[in-house]
Amino acid sequence: MAALAPDTGRAFVVGVTGPPGAGKSTTVTALVRALRARGERVGVLAVDPTSPFTGGALLGDRVRMQEHALDDEVLIRSMATRGHLGGLAVAAPQALRVFDAAGCATVVVETVGVGQSEVDVAAAADAAVVLLAPGMGDGVQAAKAGILEIGDLFVVNKADRDGAQPLVRELRSMVGLADRPPGAWKPPVLTTVASEGTGVPELLDALDRFRVAQAASGDQARRRLQRSRREVEGLALATLAGRLRREGSAALDDLAAAVRDGGTDPYAAAAALLARTDLR
């Protein structure tokens, strides 16, 4: 990472998130195709929900992005949502940094956007694309998914299906209701049929416009500073967590049993755990 540092900061990171079934993989594949047509090197980071038992990502590199699997200028990496030191908030930026230093002009991060950490990763991108599709439940369900407020661009995929236009209208109405300062970016609501490539050039154009606007306003630099803050803080915390685990492991068994059996409360147990280490 020290060696890579001077070569970072050039890639534009696009987060694509949305509920399962919205067509994220298809849209990312189409987006990568459009970026490759410009001759750019592209990185793809796919964040999968983790199997709680195996600790591995449920879908691997191999089953996704088959169209681009043999293209040397498309770098693809899958990452599970757990099992990383410091969690996804730390692991994802490290992977992005490698893509960045490897010369990817654009890196697309694909996450399943219902869990909070996945939403955080998408929101930490330079541009957050929220992908929805008609027929996935009503507006309350969309709000439940917690992804409406983070979008810099909204895309209604599968726009040839029934219900696409009402969903577009609903999203435009919600975007229109939000308070924003004069001159601030107003998230557009685009439509695509990603499986046919329809609407993808327009999505790319909108991303370009957003990039230029963000760089000019200083918002990109501010957002990247926040991302770096979280990353550094996350790594420092991961270091502390490792020490706590090593130094406190023996004490933790007794303390946890006492909590389970009602002999003490968890706050007192946590204080006792810290008292057994040099971290207190």
- Only one of the segments 164-172, 183-191, 197-205, 243-251 lies at the binding site for its own copies (rule: CB under 8 A); that segment is 243-251
Separation of alpha carbons 61 and 153, rounded Å: 26
**Minimum separation from the CB atom of position 141 to its own copies (A):** 5
Q: Is 244 in the site for its own copies (CB under 8 A)?
A: yes
* 115-134 residues near its own copies, rule: CB under 8 A: 115-120, 123
Separation of alpha carbons 24 and 16, rounded Å: 7
Indicate which single residue of 103, 146, 163, 197 sits in contact with its own copies (rule: CB under 8 A).
146
Separation of alpha carbons 244 and 39, rounded Å: 48
Indicate which single residue of 143, 184, 212, 215 sits in contact with its own copies (rule: CB under 8 A).
143
Name residues whose C-beta falls within 8 Å of residue 207's C-beta, 6 or more positions apart in sequence: 12, 14, 127, 129, 153
Q: In the chain, helix, strand, coil percent, each to 5?
A: 50, 15, 35
* 205-224 residues near its own copies, rule: CB under 8 A: 221, 224
Indicate which single residue of 31, 132, 150, 164 sits in contact with its own copies (rule: CB under 8 A).
150
Question: Quick one: tokens of 202?
Answer: 């327009």
Question: Quick one: tokens of 137?
Answer: 């439940």
Indicate which single residue of 37, 60, 137, 196 sits in contact with its own copies (rule: CB under 8 A).
137
The smaller minimum CB distance to its own copies, of residues 60 and 201, is found at 60
* DSSP H or E segment with residue 18: strand 12-18
Q: Which of 152, 149, 47, 52 is nearest to 90 (CA)?
A: 47
The contact pattern for its own copies, residues 162-191, with x = CB under 8 A and - = no contact, is ------------------------------
Indicate which single residue of 34, 102, 213, 259 sits in contact with its own copies (rule: CB under 8 A).
259
The smaller minimum CB distance to its own copies, of residues 148 and 155, is found at 148
